[in-house]
Amino acid sequence: MMMKSRFQIPALPAVLGAIFSLQAGAVIAKNLFPVLGAPATASLRIGLSALMLLLVNRPSPGKLSAAQWKAIIPYGLCLGAMNGIFYLSLARIPLGLAVTLEFIGPLLLAISGSRRLIEFLWVLLAGAGIALIAPWSEGSIDLFGAAMALLAGGFWAGYIILGRRSSKVIEGGQAVTIGMVFATLVILPFGIAEGGFVNFEPYMILSGTALALLCSAIPFTLEMQALKQLPAKTFSILMSLEPAIAALCGLVFLNEQLAFREWAAVALVVLASTGTTLSRDRKNL
pLDDT in tens, 155-203: 999 998 998 888 888 877 788 889 999 999 999 999 898 888 888 888 8
- Residue range 50-60: average pLDDT? 86
Which SS3 state, helix, strand or coil, does residue 71 take? helix
Task: Report the percent of the chain where pLDDT is more than 70.
Answer: 85
pLDDT for 236 beyond 80: no
Radius of gyration in angstroms for the set of CA atoms belonging to the chain, rounded to a whole number: 18
Chain centroid to Cα 6, Å, comes to 24
pLDDT of the residue at 102: 85
- Residue range 47-65: average pLDDT? 86
Q: Are 220 and 180 in contact (CB under 8 A)?
A: yes
Q: Helix, strand, coil: what percent of the chain each, to 5?
A: 80, 0, 20
Q: Which residues, at least 6 apart from 177, have a Cβ–Cβ distance to it below 8 Å?
A: 50, 53, 54, 56, 57, 59
pLDDT tens readout for residues 106-155: 777 876 766 677 777 877 887 787 777 665 555 556 778 888 988 999 99
Chain centroid to Cα 45, Å, comes to 13
Burial 242-261 (b: 16+ CB within 10 A, else e): bbbbbbbbbeeeeeeebeee
Q: How far apart are CA 72 and CA 279, in angstroms?
A: 31
pLDDT for 79 beyond 70: yes
Cα first-last separation, the chain: 24
Q: How confident is the model at residue 4 (pLDDT cuts 50, 70, 90)?
A: very low
Which SS3 state, helix, strand or coil, does residue 145 take? helix
More confident residue, 2 or 85: 85
Highest mean pLDDT among 3-17, 49-63, 73-87, 200-214 belongs to 73-87
Q: Give the lowest-confidence range in 45-54, 60-69, 236-245, 250-259.
A: 250-259
- Mean pLDDT, the chain, integer: 81
- Residue range 26-52: average pLDDT? 89
Q: How far apart are CA 90 and CA 199, in angstroms?
A: 20
More confident residue, 179 or 250: 179
pLDDT of the residue at 187: 92
Q: Which residues, at least 6 apart from 53, have a Cβ–Cβ distance to it below 8 Å?
A: 173, 176, 177, 180, 217, 221
- Cα atoms found within 13 Å of the Cα of residue 152, Cβ hemisphere only: 23
Tell me which amino acid residue 25 is.
G
Q: How confident is the model at residue 87 (pLDDT cuts 50, 70, 90)?
A: very high
pLDDT of the residue at 73: 94
Give burial (CB, 10 Å; 0-12/13-18/19+) of 283: exposed
